[in-house]
Structure 1
Amino acid sequence: MAKRIPLHEDPRWLPFCERYAPDPARFAVEVQGVTPTPQQLELYAEVAPSRSRVSVASGHGTGKTTSVANMVLWHLLCFPQSITLVTANDMDQLKATLWKEIGIAVEKIRRSAHGWIADHIEILANATMRIRGFEDTWFVESKTANDKTANKMAGRHGEWLMIIGDEASTLSDTVLTTLRGALTEQHNRMLLTSQPTRNAGFFWRTHHELARTNGGEWANLTFSSLESPLVSDDALRELWDSYDDDERRVRLLGLFPQDSSKHMMSLPDAMAMYKRGRIIKPGEAYGWLVLGDVASGEGLRDKSAVVLARVIGYGDRGPNARRVEVVAVPIHTNGIRSNRFAGAMVEAGDDCEGARYVVDSGGLGINVCQDLEDMNKPVERVNWGNPCFQNKNKDRYLNLRAQAMHQAARAAREGRLSILTNEHRNVLLAQSSRIPKTFTDKGRVRVPPKHSTEWEGMPSPDLWDAICFAFLEGVGYNPVSGAGDAERDLGASVESEVDELFADV
């Protein structure tokens, strides 16, 4: 077997560099055999110049990850002894997305007319890649970044250095500022990509006061899913109808959330729940839910709550979307011991035909669930922190708490949640209109942990928690026999529930 010569001694390499180093778009087309979209071409053009600083706020399906994979290989193969650092908060996600695309891209190069250069690439299992024979001086590496490790990462220097921040909206100011400070030479580049999930931080600033349009050095690009040929019209319609306004901004339009989005819903939306009256029509086969949130012993401000509600429908969209009427709040107190709470719930629900009991099973709630089950009551155990079951909700929400609270707020805005009692009205208005909302690095809706700064000192929203249980995915109901054509409606309800639960699993 002939000995492999180093890449820089291969007579084909300098002509390769002369043709492709100035033009990552040409590299994508001729070396990888792909056709870039207009958005990708715009990104390549901004990254190409030496000392470029580029920040991309992107919606779904714009080809961002494929573009980054292409530029990683372009930088590795077209510049001598180049160093590329890729940083993110989640290394597992980085391996599952970017490094998968890099592997696919390398195989495309190997099958092209430039297959010879792929033989000089070595991809390792630890999310690194290097040019053979230059293991310590010509490579790509990935590292998770935090305030403690940023200085170590910034210790990398070189004439051809490129730093890429993936899901940069979640990277700390310390990390990004430190890494930017490492770019001391003329040919150093930095690229940040992310869904624009929060209105603060270094990534946000690159689209505002640090942007070229405001006299800064950053080229700020916005990639909308609506303008991407990689997303079908049917998929766009499906997503657009599923999302609320802020989700559309972040996940489709590539825009930062509106300032008003820090809460799940506004006070006017909350007040409207008291004004709309009955929303379940006469004759419709609704069911009863007895919703219970059990105090976890956090002090006088932490109370147990029981809510009686009529419910019908499933999901959060379409003609059969869930509607809920809150009929009574028989219990909202810190004066009931947990070992008596199950009995109090059953007493409250005695007149609710076919009622199902939905109870928070965290902390003391697990004993209440067991007591209800010992009484042969149908119980739905609520575990807020669990991930969603349906695939569409897994992609959209961090956990069940976010799913239920977000869909309850949407129902309130859309007229599908009505409160028919004035019991504890002021408490409920204060709780429901102040639930904080943020986004994860993947644009999923998230409710911050209780007592975090986003809650602004608000105690546990126990009463609103209980109401939100009615909107949890998978919470069913038994249609009341006198509410409509029982045999017909029960069959339709069960069929609808099965379809909703398993449509995308």
Structure 2
Amino acid sequence: MSDPVVELVKSLAQYAKDPLTFVYFAFPWGQAGTSIERMKGPQPWQVKILMDIRDGLKTPDQVIQEAVASGHGIGKSALVSWLILWAISTHEDTRGVVTANTETQLRTKTWAELSKWFGIFRARILFKYTATSIYSMDPKHEKTWRIDAIPWSKENTEAFAGLHNQGKRILLIFDEASAIDNRIWEVAEGAMTDKETEIIWCAFGNPTRNNGRFYDCFHRDRNFWHTMQVDSRTVEITNKDLIAKWAQQYGEDSDFFRVRVRGVFPNSSSLQLISTDLVEAARGKKIRKESISFAPVIIGVDNSWTGSDPAAIWLRQGLWSQRLAKIPKVSNDNIMGAMVAKFEDEYHADAVNIDQGYGTGLYSWGLAHGRNWNLIPFGARAPKEGFLNMRAYMADQVRQWLRDGGCLPDDQTICDDLTMAYQISPSDTGVLKLRSKKELEDEGIPSPNDGDALMLTFAIPVVKKGMRRQRMQANTEYKLF
């Protein structure tokens, strides 16, 4: 009587050079009661990648390098999972590393998807799956036959430098590769030098940046990579209603749509919510007083308390905006409160909106002095659907305002804040989500105090308090044509 485990190993060995046929063999496609009961097999773009790897394995000592830039929801993580399971189960002592743009992406998206496919994998009895690795159940091969999920760090590149496996197989996968530091790419290349070794290096992701090594795969280094750009609209499993909403909200030529749907690299230097073109068109733009006299006057206050960030106070009336003050951190609410109150009275402001982050004391000062100011929590629920929070909503309101003809002072700081500090982050639900300030600070992008103060003027609807406030005082410094 044959040993079922031995028969399983023999079956897997047949697919050592054919990842496409392996995928059809390894999972119960269309089987009732499974998570893939409504799926017949890979999507056409996935088939092409699997076939390209299969064809590349026919040439000894060829490093197979695949780069896929894609829109959202095309089944990228599923393909990554199949490649991991194929690589480890069809070649003895395979070694591999999988990394992603962030540890959260790696843990909650990439590796979590592997858990789903491992659960229905026909050969799962041969391997052990954990939160950070998959490896052989044979104790003798536990350290030599494994693939690990490793967050990258530019200060610690040893995991990528030591990925050698002479005479066997190496799998290296970069997920959301646009944001992986160039140094990790450079160190990883050192593992591509083993002779008589099957080496497969795959880089996947939304093309969020028009620079860096992922971008180079499609441009400078295109002769060394097999590249593919996948438009979400061409893939059967994508959410077409969501794509249509994005097209209407952002426009098909916007960087958001280019990156998240078309799989095309952005025109801007990064995935900006607010484009450089919009900001430059508004910079130093003049406007007549009478064209804004009907609009309410709103003051936004981004307070400071600790750290080195200054406080910023901005005014907006219709399409006009200006900075009223920018001062070093203020820990005395009496000083800051008196300044805000002075501006409120001087410009007959119809609303004063304060960032709740460091503004609760300032808000309390206002209440104690008869001021009806508004405290705005950036993390609160947005007043309309399609936004993760108030921060995303207000930033998008600024973008719309600029598109409608908003005017900015001729000032580099506010321009930098608007173009650099409000970057779109991937969201599975389709809502607009911005990268956190912590992420931006880690990349050397300063806190957008001016940008946040301007954003606060869009937090809530405001109506002018009365006819007596329809004109600004004669000493306002608005520029005229």
TM, length-normalised to structure 1: 0.71
Q: Is the 8 A contact 2:350 2:465 kept in 1?
A: no
Secondary structure of the structure 1 residue equivalent to 2:118: helix
Within 5 Å, which residues of 2 pair with 1:85-96? 85-96=97-108
Secondary structure of the structure 1 residue equivalent to 2:144: coil
Q: Is the 8 A contact 2:299 2:313 kept in 1?
A: no
Within 5 Å, which residues of 2 pair with 1:391-430? 392-394=386-388, 400=391, 404-415=394-405, 417=406, 425-427=409-411, 430=412
Match of 2:53 in 1: 47
Equivalents in 2 of 1:100, 1:24: separation in Å?
21
- Structure 2 segments unaligned to the other structure (5+ residues): 30-39, 58-62, 428-432, 468-481
Does 59-68 or 142-151 show the bigger shift? Answer: 142-151
- Aligned pair 1:173/2:182, yes or no? yes
- Aligned pair 1:129/2:134, yes or no? yes
- Aligned pair 1:142/2:149, yes or no? yes
Q: Structure 2: which amino acid aligns with 1:155? A: G
Does 28-37 or 190-199 show the bigger shift? Answer: 28-37
Among candidates 16, 41, 44, match of residue 38 of structure 1: 44
Among candidates 10, 15, 19, match of residue 14 of structure 1: 10
Equivalents in 1 of 2:267, 2:157: separation in Å?
30
Equivalents in 2 of 1:66, 1:241: separation in Å?
29
Secondary structure of the structure 2 residue equivalent to 1:101: helix
Residues 146/223 of structure 1: CA separation in 2 closer, same or farther (3 Å cut): same
Equivalents in 2 of 1:253, 1:137: separation in Å?
40
Within 5 Å, which residues of 2 pair with 1:194-209? 194-209=205-220
Equivalents in 1 of 2:119, 2:306: separation in Å?
58
Deviation at 1:53, TM superposition (A): 0.6
Residues 202/288 of structure 1: CA separation in 2 closer, same or farther (3 Å cut): same
Equivalenced residues, count: 427
Match of 1:370 in 2: 364
Match of 1:470 in 2: 457
Equivalents in 1 of 2:76, 2:103: separation in Å?
17
Secondary structure of the structure 2 residue equivalent to 1:11: helix
Q: Is the 8 A contact 2:101 2:180 kept in 1?
A: yes
Secondary structure of the structure 2 residue equivalent to 1:41: helix
Secondary structure of the structure 1 residue equivalent to 2:66: strand
Match of 1:255 in 2: 264
Deviation at 1:76, TM superposition (A): 1.4
Secondary structure of the structure 2 residue equivalent to 1:13: helix
- Aligned pair 1:58/2:70, yes or no? yes
Residues 221/147 of structure 1: CA separation in 2 closer, same or farther (3 Å cut): same
Deviation at 1:308, TM superposition (A): 5.0
Equivalents in 2 of 1:369, 1:355: separation in Å?
16
Match of 2:231 in 1: 224
Deviation at 1:6, TM superposition (A): 10
Residues 272/227 of structure 1: CA separation in 2 closer, same or farther (3 Å cut): farther
- Aligned pair 1:210/2:227, yes or no? no
Deviation at 1:296, TM superposition (A): 6.8
Q: Structure 1: which amino acid aligns with 2:375? A: R
Secondary structure of the structure 2 residue equivalent to 1:305: strand
Q: Is the 8 A contact 1:87 1:145 kept in 2?
A: yes
Equivalents in 2 of 1:209, 1:180: separation in Å?
16
Among all aligned residue pairs of Structure 1 and Structure 2, give the percentage whose two residues are the same amino acid. 19
Match of 2:60 in 1: none
Q: Structure 1: which amino acid aligns with 2:97? A: L
Equivalents in 2 of 1:359, 1:231: separation in Å?
40
Equivalents in 2 of 1:87, 1:450: separation in Å?
22
Q: Deviations over 1:233-268 (max 9, x none)?
A: 322111222336111122111122214667743355
Q: Structure 2: which amino acid aligns with 1:179? A: A
Equivalents in 1 of 2:380, 2:7: separation in Å?
55
Secondary structure of the structure 1 residue equivalent to 2:13: helix
Q: Is the 8 A contact 2:178 2:209 kept in 1?
A: yes
- Aligned pair 1:305/2:289, yes or no? no
Q: Is the 8 A contact 2:210 2:269 kept in 1?
A: no
Match of 1:269 in 2: 281
Q: Deviations over 1:96-131 (max 9, x none)?
A: 21222222212333xxxxx3x22212212x321122
- Aligned pair 1:78/2:83, yes or no? no
Match of 1:321 in 2: none
Q: Is the 8 A contact 1:404 1:469 kept in 2?
A: yes
Match of 1:493 in 2: none
Q: Structure 2: which amino acid aligns with 1:75? A: A
Deviation at 1:67, TM superposition (A): 0.8
Q: Deviations over 1:24-64 (max 9, x none)?
A: 22222232124211111122123332331111112101110
Deviation at 1:369, TM superposition (A): 2.1
Does 336-345 or 226-235 show the bigger shift? Answer: 336-345
Residues 101/452 of structure 1: CA separation in 2 closer, same or farther (3 Å cut): closer
Deviation at 1:15, TM superposition (A): 3.6
Equivalents in 2 of 1:199, 1:179: separation in Å?
21
Equivalents in 2 of 1:462, 1:135: separation in Å?
51
TM, length-normalised to structure 2: 0.75
Residues 121/378 of structure 1: CA separation in 2 closer, same or farther (3 Å cut): farther
Q: Deviations over 1:324-343 (max 9, x none)?
A: 444887x4365998524434
Equivalents in 2 of 1:375, 1:191: separation in Å?
62
Deviation at 1:68, TM superposition (A): 0.5
Q: Is the 8 A contact 1:81 1:139 kept in 2?
A: yes
Equivalents in 2 of 1:31, 1:332: separation in Å?
64
Match of 2:245 in 1: 238
Equivalents in 2 of 1:67, 1:120: separation in Å?
21
Residues 52/278 of structure 1: CA separation in 2 closer, same or farther (3 Å cut): farther
Residues 240/276 of structure 1: CA separation in 2 closer, same or farther (3 Å cut): farther
Does 242-251 or 69-78 show the bigger shift? Answer: 242-251
